[in-house]
Structure 1
Amino acid sequence: MTSELAERQRALELLRTAFPDYRIVFSKGRWAAVSAGSPPAVWFAETPSSLCGQLFQAQLRNGGTVGPFGGSGS
């Protein structure tokens, strides 16, 4: 069984691979992403899947791309 820490690390890895233009972190039980820009946009979420959905919507609105979710190990 995967530990919570290992699962969180894997989620960070996948999110960072899929959304390389954002700084993504997990702190104090919340997920956050910050875009490069002036001013930068910030998203907060309770789960990695919620953050993923928010970033996907942001990419759709801004005409950006989404990287592969599988990473190099898939």
Structure 2
Amino acid sequence: MTSELAERERALELLRTAFPDYRIVFSKGRWAAVSAGSPPGVWFAETPGSLCGQLFQAQLRSGGTIVPFGR
């Protein structure tokens, strides 16, 4: 059985790999991402999947690329 902490660390690793242009953190039960820029874009989510979806949509709208998750 994988612990919640291990799952959270793995989710952080995958999100940071897939979206290297964003600073992604987990704090106080919420996921957050911030993009570079002026003003910076900020996204909040309750789950890593929700944050992933938001960042995917942001990348599509901005014309950015999405890095493959594979190793």
Same fold (TM over 0.5): yes
2:37 counterpart SS class? coil
Q: Distance in 2 between matches of 1:2 and 1:67?
A: 26
* Per-residue deviation, 1:38: 0.4
Residue-pair matches, total = 71
Post-superposition offset of 1:34: 0.0
CA deviation after TM superposition for structure 1 residue 58, in Å: 0.2
Q: TM-score with structure 1 length normalisation?
A: 0.93
Structure 1 residue 68 displacement after superposition: 1.5
Question: Take 1:65 and 1:19, find their aligned partners in 2: how far apart are those partners?
Answer: 9
Percent sequence identity is 90
Q: 1: CA distance between counterparts of 2:60 and 2:51?
A: 14
SS of residue paired to 1:66: coil
SS class of match (1:23): strand
Taking the aligned partners of 2:31 and 2:68, their CA distance within structure 1 comes to 20
1:42 aligns with 2:59: no
Distance 1:47 1:16 in 2: 15
List alignment gaps of at least 5 residues for structure 2: none
Shift of 1:10: 0.1
Deviation of residue 67 (structure 1)?
A: 0.7
Q: What TM-score, normalized to structure 2? A: 0.97
- What secondary structure sits across from 1:33 in the alignment? strand
State the alpha-carbon separation in 2 of the partners of residues 25 and 68 from structure 1: 20
